[in-house]
Structure 1
């Protein structure tokens, strides 16, 4: 089936790109592994009991074709627009605008959720309660904004160090916890029925978001056609081992006692109370790495949309000045994230209040991106992976429920703004 022609968003990237496979792997790993491993094993176990392991396994299986699909799209259509570009090529600029607006605005809404996971660890270790959580959340957002302000090469180097440290520490946590596994914690298995497994899967979408945002960094690779696939394959292997390992020991060791900081409980149980500060450092590093990847991708997405008139021109006005970093779009993303944090604090809401709203957006973006892949990718395994990913993404949207209406409303608002702007003229 021939895809309709459309002008995809322009990619605000450096000429030729500068990311190596290792740096790209670090950015991808941080985005996908992200903050999910900090608190979600406990939240999923609370929703489904030991059967939460089924939700983890199912989503890991879904991740294989999903990662392959976005890697294939990124290799064929590299640029800052990411999913918006693919949807534009496949379905036209109006659909691309809706996806772009929904995804761009989901990042500052989700950033406080990600930073809040680490903040809960810091509050647990240092005390201070809610005030500490809000302060740490805002601090993480500011640190990541500065990292991105300095450029993709600086943030990628920092990310590489973070990724290596985190992978090592998580592996240590898994191996040190295995001797304390209690088979009694795995029974009864379906403590909340199959509906509990579905509820856990809806929460865990957060843990597997990331393949779509790094597609906005595809134009930054030295050789996108070669390097994106390699970075994706390495990331898949590492994520599978670490996610399944942490999820298993959370359920089998902590059982019903898993709380919001299961990683801390696992390390303290294995090494004693001195390990609690180490766990806090792991949580903060994971969060900084994840939010860094999302800010890098979102800023390039915003600039790409601005350069095609789908967002205010100011967002991409600095891209043609010789800088590869779209600082205007970065300022908007960071500013909105701080505003959401302040609003939640003023209303007395927890930092994860917007979790399902954000995961709903990710699920909806997956549906749009995989639908575009079905039209754009050639026959054989790329098309098959796209079809499987589309079906799985649609199921995730159903599991998420009403929160998906928020990104739909955001996308419609963006489309209305664009159409009104075009009627008024440049």
Structure 2
């Protein structure tokens, strides 16, 4: 293959494609790269606040809402289902729009919708209206966070640094998961859940919307930093990609891991409370998951410069599945605290790996063309199935009066995901 010299930054395209471990000094020193890392850090703050106060903290509202509105565990879990369902519906739309127009109006409008949903939720008189308001907020979160942020990172950051960039973005979400569940649990106890939701809406409007107005933009001179438009990998059209088995194998991997992780993530606080821990202690353990995920995001992001994303995800899934089994010992009077600590370390460091590494696997398998649309469609397919995971867990808890069966099922789903992960491969040249 002929060596292609990029006239903008002097980047050897063949070297980048062949060796992810050898970063280009010229590309790294280019002004677009400095701006790109500023954008990544700013978007990490947005993910910290929006994910930290919404998706990562839904479970701390479960018991107060159940008590206040007199609903069942299944009805309360439906709030998370509605939120996740609508969030995943927004992702392919956001990805498609970012492949075609400026990200600023898309992401800023999403943040405003997320805040509006929480304002309406705080004033909802019954569980039905509250569920609809959470669904509205989910639309906004889907349009302003994961898919748009990852898509922007692939445009600004050179390929051999994207794993680290994705890790930084998800570290923002992990920091939010450390801070906000404890803070919101304390706020709910001091005031009430309605006032707490209003405070969440205010934070998103006052911090995240202005940040997105400032940050959310594509590179000015190239659509992918370091590459001339003519030199970019063409990849596949959307219709062609949807007919390719390897794309659906990638979706199956995401679906199984997301089903498993969401079921545990949403049920964790109620499960720990049912095992005899206080709401405050459960929130601290919940925050410990965020701390472990933060370590995992950076560690595996750095390792992705040396190892294939597929191999890292295989190892991480095995470790995370073992961690789920540790959680079953949380109510043991002797082993309880040790079991929770081991669960936090193993599952906590690995549960976010699919979100961090699946974009790298997608680029390997499908190319950069239509990346935002294909990432959004994949997250839609996985999210539509996994959105019912919290409600299914709530139903099983109501039926069996124990969390043992739901936790075992979550572990089985994660173990099953090892097959589609192992089948991920680069297309032959």
TM-score (norm. length: structure 2): 0.29
TM-score (norm. length: structure 1): 0.29
Greater RCO structure (CA 8 Å; 6+ sep): 1
